[in-house]
Structure 1
């Protein structure tokens, strides 16, 4: 028995038809009665549209919404059309709704039946459509695709976004989290925006149009000094003014330089020195290929290098283990060998949270660098600016320059916090993951010119807490699938 035959058998059983329509529309409105057969007709730009006739009656004897009188009389119905969710955007679903009207005999005002579970007053779409738009705003979908999926206008999607997120309630919190992460991310018009999240719950705290210290201080000064004093840690990268701004805003905070950025800086400096040594050899030579083709092995922990299974290396024209490649390459440059030992000693100290070893290494380097600075000053005083070769090599060494940056008076204590076991669980990893999502959303949307709308969508995306029945939102399209298959 096909679908139409089944409905013909139930034509006299309006209660059963009403129950079936409620089931597949997934509407729980008590006053809504759908006891007529749906029909398919062309409508506006669509060749086929499914119309479901329905009546919205008062569930009980109404009272006047203006004066509260119970002396009312029933009138006719007010027609309206509500858009409902559909599985196929080319075959939309509309509810031909007739709302029961009543007139107050006391104040002569007229009013009609309304049901917030079905749709808000004056709305042209059901709550299910709104919920589906919100569910798609929580995914990596462009605004244009959301409008096409739901057969709504772009302004409707923006209105749903505005109703879901209010910046006024988000801007000022009652309290600040105890642990914060600072970073910047490119938003609209390719500009850098300041972003701050809770380091524990990974929820968004601030997203500002700019990243200047003035903008940051203006935002956080909206909180009382007592609230700002609750902040215990601020994790950031090596941005010059983030640490100084955090120290001014939060009197009891500890600044933590993210360990990933420290290791990244050290590795980049070592790679720069490796490339300098590589360019000293002819391009097709074995020595050149030792530095060129196996650069990842230099950054790997020496204890993890394979020393037992030689493999044929096409660029080197012989079989060698990973450890042999690194050892043979470092024998070509004593300076690179020392740099290799230094970076891996720093790696182990940071990864193992050995703050004493890290402090010993950095302070020893700082002391030796001060001695070199004294030698430079003495040489300049006697001979002018022409330095000897050993001092020139120090000035041109990127690893030494990087370590000098890490050991400045401003950065040293913050860098040591990165290896402190007490702060081991705090890093900029969560905020970097959020930045990646924002960049992905921006790229898929081909840019979002309106910063406010982009900020609201990011807030909705990051701070949304799904309910237990959230999985039912998209499942409500079963009704349209059922009807469309039957009507074909």
Structure 2
């Protein structure tokens, strides 16, 4: 249907005039775009880049968390803490602070940085994957393609999760489109919002 729409309504010359197209990381669409719009630069929406690595980090947190589920009292506390404060583990560490104290359930009066450090201390896998996650996150936030390329070329620590390894392979595969996403200001935010409203309705 998509091919028929563009082949019948738009000439080859018109399709060649399309400069950029913004998508998620769907390989099928990428192939289709190259066929329909041969001169268009493909841009990966940066939201989907962050979402990819965030999911990998969160999947590992769930695995570690569930390992404490049936343990003794101390393990139960770790389980509840990991379950409650998952958002802090996904937050950019540059936005965490050691100086602003506030009440945290299951922790008492402390800082968000201390909460994160405590959660990471529960399992070496969490710490190793968190370090990689933050490095990737900062490279994306800074739109630093060289930093991202360096991270993707480095040999992976043995504790890096299978989900994260798959995410790394996906990022490598889409590297040229990711570079375009760092160069251009375009994203899918508006149309993604429309799609979400349609789904909700």
TM-score tier after normalising by the smaller chain length: 0.7 to 0.9
Q: Does 1:270 align with 2:30?
A: no
CA displacement, residues 312-357 of structure 1 (integer Å, 9 cap, x when unaligned): 43323x3321111111221222221121121222222222222221
Question: For residues 83 and 197 of structure 2, what CA distance do their matches in structure 1 show?
Answer: 33
In the other structure, the counterpart of 1:279 is 66
Aligned residues: 196
Secondary structure in structure 1 of the residue aligned to 2:67: coil
Change (3 A) 1:290 1:265: same
The Cα shift of 1:266 comes to 0.9
Q: Highest Rg: 1 or 2?
A: 1
Q: How does 1:301-316 map to 2 (within 5 A)?
A: 301-316=92-107
User: Which runs of structure 2 are paired with 1:80-99 in the superposition (5 Å)?
Assistant: none
Asked whether 1:426 is paired with 2:200, we answer no
Report which of the two has the higher share of helix: 2
Residue in structure 2 matched with residue 342 of structure 1 by the alignment: 132
Pairing 1:387-426 to 2, within 5 Å after superposition: 397-408=162-173, 411-419=174-182, 421=183, 423=184, 425-426=185-186
Picking from 77, 81, 86, the partner of 1:290 is 81
Name the residue aligned to 1:356: 146
Once residues 150 and 72 of structure 2 are traced to their aligned partners in structure 1, the CA distance between those partners, rounded to angstroms, is 40
* Residues 299, 249 of structure 1: alpha-carbon distance in 2 compared, 3 angstrom cutoff: same
Q: Deviations over 1:96-127 (max 9, x none)?
A: xxxxxxxxxxxxxxxxxxxxxxxxxxxxxxxx
Query: What's the C-alpha RMSD, in Å, of the aligned pairs?
Result: 2.2
- Structure 2 CA distance for aligned equivalents of residues 437 and 283 of structure 1: 44
239 and 283 in structure 1: CA distance in 2 versus 1, 3 angstrom threshold = farther
CA offset at residue 283 of structure 1?
Answer: 7.3
Q: Judge conservation of contact 1:358–1:416 (CA < 8 Å) in 2.
A: no
Of 233, 238, 255 in structure 1, the residue corresponding to residue 42 of structure 2 is 255
**Cα distance 1:219–1:356, how it changes in 2: closer, same or farther (>3 A)?**
same
Relative contact order: is structure 1 or structure 2 higher (C-alpha 8 Å, sep ≥ 6)?
A: 2
Q: TM-score, normalised on structure 2?
A: 0.87
Aligned to 1:221: 7
CA contact (8 A) 1:237 1:261 kept: yes
Partner of 2:23: 236
Higher strand share: 1
Using a 3 Å threshold, how does the CA distance of structure 1 residues 401 and 220 change in structure 2: closer, same or farther? same
Alignment check: 8 A CA contact 1:256 1:418 kept: yes
| Contact in 2 for aligned 1:293/1:315 (Cα 8 Å) | no
Q: How does 1:435-474 map to 2 (within 5 A)?
A: 435-439=195-199, 443=201
Shift in CA distance, 433/314, structure 1 to aligned 2, threshold 3 Å = closer
TM-score of the aligned structures, taking structure 1 as reference length: 0.38
Q: Distance in 1 between matches of 2:198 and 2:134?
A: 34
- For the residue of structure 1 that corresponds to 2:43, the secondary structure is strand
Deviation at 1:236, TM superposition (A): 0.5
Matching residue of 1:463: none
How far apart, in 1, do the equivalents of 2:61 and 2:125 lie? 10
Question: Gapped runs of 5+ residues in structure 1?
Answer: 1-214, 373-389, 444-488
Match of 1:320 among 107, 110, 116: 110
